[in-house]
Amino acid sequence: MKARQIYPLVLAGISALALSSVAHADEFSDWFKVDGFGTVGAYKGNSSIAGVRTEQRQRTLSFKDWKFDGDSQASIQMTVNPQGNFKGVVQLISKKDVNGSNKPTVEWAYVSYPITSEIDFKLGRTVAPIFIMSDYRNLSYAQTTARPQSEMYQVNPITFQDGATARWDKKIGSGNLQLEGFFGKTKVSVAGGDVDLNRVKGLSLKWGQDSWSVRGGYSWYNASINAPTVEGNIAALKAIPSVACTNCISVLNAVAPTKGITATISTIGATYDDGEWIGQAEWSKRETNSVVIVGVTGWNALFARRIGDFTPFIGTGKFDMTGDKPTFSPGAFAPPALRAQLNYLNQSYLGTGDSSRTVNSIGVRWDFAKNLALKTQLEMAKMKYPSVGASNGFYSYETSMLGKPSGFDGKVSMFTVNLDFVF
């Protein structure tokens, strides 16, 4: 079912539910609840060569200048019939997107109903339950760090899907088992272009007991991409005669489809929180049939301790681009400039770059007042292949492989100061 068909049904259901609830409720809070959350943030890179951004769904980069539109956001969530079984939820988020707009977007819009005491069903726009923090990825106040770690969440920028979700909760001994399945479609706009994801399907299994929680998931989807830089490179390469590039067309047909891309994502993670000590570790892998959406792996670990109102933390992680690279071969009549260009395109996955890296972070959270948290964070990245360059994702810098050295040594940091709030 298409999103434009789902939304009228969802909104109509919420409206009917609201009218019904008003007729029977004695108090406003019995049928309608409003929650809000947001962040006022600033971040700054430390390099004049490599720019940094807080997430890949934005275009803004910081080199050595302060930026105030990275994590900053204002969001509101409205719930109809919050105390009942049949309820409706709409969540709006205002945050600068890849087009530079702060226009509020619909992050969630669904109706839900428990089919049984253990099975809950949702229809509409719901969260894609892929990672540990998927359920509160946009709720920074609920997170220890300033934001989800990039080396993990760059594996998949999907935050929601339009379709259906079913969840089964089962109490087993002193623990709780949760199985969630989802099906739908979505669209993601990142710095490198737009990605349409069709037939998004997935399963998530979560176990929680005492201070521990473990979550694993597997999802798969079909995708098509609209990325002007990549598509321009493909068109130019296909136009090169075989005497200059012996296999450009065959390689592109084999490893660089922009339509009908298939991908799978596997994840597993665990958290520990006993009220004083906090630990978190997560691993994910994406496999695809195209270098346009390349295969990657990512992992991270976080350790923190609450000391009064302060929670200092340290983290480490790694992100690797693991997909097979193109293997363009220059022909006998290829000029030196073309040979260099083909080598660069081989190493940079058709010009998108190679942002493989390790990242270490340190910071502190200060809960100085009710519903307010001030966070400072320093992330220090070491790029694995600084000469290749990167043009999207969380880091962007020029290549040194085309005859013009950039002078980049691969080290870049980002300092963040965020004020998170809920109401």
Cα separation, 289 vs 261, in Å, equals 6
Flag whether 290 is in a domain: yes
- pLDDT of 129 strictly over 90: no
Structure tokens at 9: 């049904």
- pLDDT of 19 strictly over 50: no
Confidence of residue 20 (pLDDT cuts 50, 70, 90): very low
- φ/ψ bin of 70: left (φ > 0), alpha (ψ from -120 to 50), beta (otherwise): alpha
Flag whether 26 is in a domain: no
Give the residue from 184, 190, 198 showing the smallest Cα distance to 156: 190
Give the residue from 129, 280, 114 showing the smallest Cα distance to 204: 129
Higher pLDDT, 73 or 22: 73
Contact 13, 88 (CB under 8 A): yes
Cα separation, 95 vs 293, in Å, equals 25
Tens digits of per-residue pLDDT, 287-330? 999 999 999 999 999 999 999 999 999 999 999 999 999 999 99
**How distant, in Å, are the alpha carbons of 33, 37, 180, 272, 419 from that of 135?**
19, 14, 12, 17, 20
Cα separation, 421 vs 38, in Å, equals 6
Q: What's residue 5's pLDDT?
A: 41
Contact 300, 156 (CB under 8 A): no
Q: In DSSP terms, which residues pair with 326 in a beta bridge?
A: none
Tens digits of per-residue pLDDT, 205-259? 999 999 999 999 999 999 998 888 888 889 999 999 999 999 999 999 999 999 9
Terminal CA-CA length for the chain: 35
Contact 334, 166 (CB under 8 A): no
DSSP state, 324? P
| Other CB atoms within 10 Å distance of the CB of residue 147 | 23
Q: How many helices (H) does the chain have, and how many strands (E)?
A: 6, 19
Tens digits of per-residue pLDDT, 142-188? 999 999 999 988 898 788 899 999 999 999 999 999 999 999 999 88
Contact 87, 116 (CB under 8 A): no
| Other CB atoms within 10 Å distance of the CB of residue 317 | 23
- Percent of the chain surpassing pLDDT 70: 93
Average pLDDT, the chain: 90
Q: What's residue 381's pLDDT?
A: 98
Q: What's residue 90's pLDDT?
A: 96
Confidence of residue 397 (pLDDT cuts 50, 70, 90): very high
| Other CB atoms within 10 Å distance of the CB of residue 323 | 18
Identify the CATH number of the domain in which residue 130 sits.
2.40.160.10
Q: What's residue 368's pLDDT?
A: 98
Q: What's residue 28's pLDDT?
A: 61
pLDDT mean over 352-374: 97
Flag whether 24 is in a domain: no
- How do strand 119-127 and strand 160-172 relate by DSSP bridges? antiparallel
Domain count for the chain, please give it: 1
Flag whether 19 is in a domain: no
Cα separation, 190 vs 158, in Å, equals 10
Flag whether 25 is in a domain: no
Contact 89, 108 (CB under 8 A): yes
- How do strand 105-114 and strand 119-127 relate by DSSP bridges? antiparallel
Q: What's residue 27's pLDDT?
A: 54
Flag whether 17 is in a domain: no
- Percent of the chain surpassing pLDDT 90: 76
- pLDDT of 191 strictly over 80: no
Structure tokens at 366: 């200060």
Flag whether 166 is in a domain: yes
Higher pLDDT, 44 or 6: 44
Cα separation, 367 vs 144, in Å, equals 11
Q: Give residues with Cβ within 8 angstroms of 204, minimum separation 6.
A: 129, 130, 178, 179, 180, 181, 182, 215, 216, 217
Q: In DSSP terms, which residues pair with 312 in a beta bridge?
A: 364
- How do strand 357-369 and strand 310-321 relate by DSSP bridges? antiparallel
Confidence of residue 193 (pLDDT cuts 50, 70, 90): confident
Higher pLDDT, 58 or 288: 288
Cα separation, 292 vs 229, in Å, equals 11
Contact 70, 59 (CB under 8 A): no
Q: What's residue 392's pLDDT?
A: 73
pLDDT mean over 334-344: 95
Flag whether 153 is in a domain: yes
Cα separation, 393 vs 55, in Å, equals 7
- pLDDT of 128 strictly over 90: no
Cα separation, 113 vs 130, in Å, equals 22
| Other CB atoms within 10 Å distance of the CB of residue 220 | 15
Contact 110, 77 (CB under 8 A): no
- Residue 113 lies in domain: 3-10+32-422
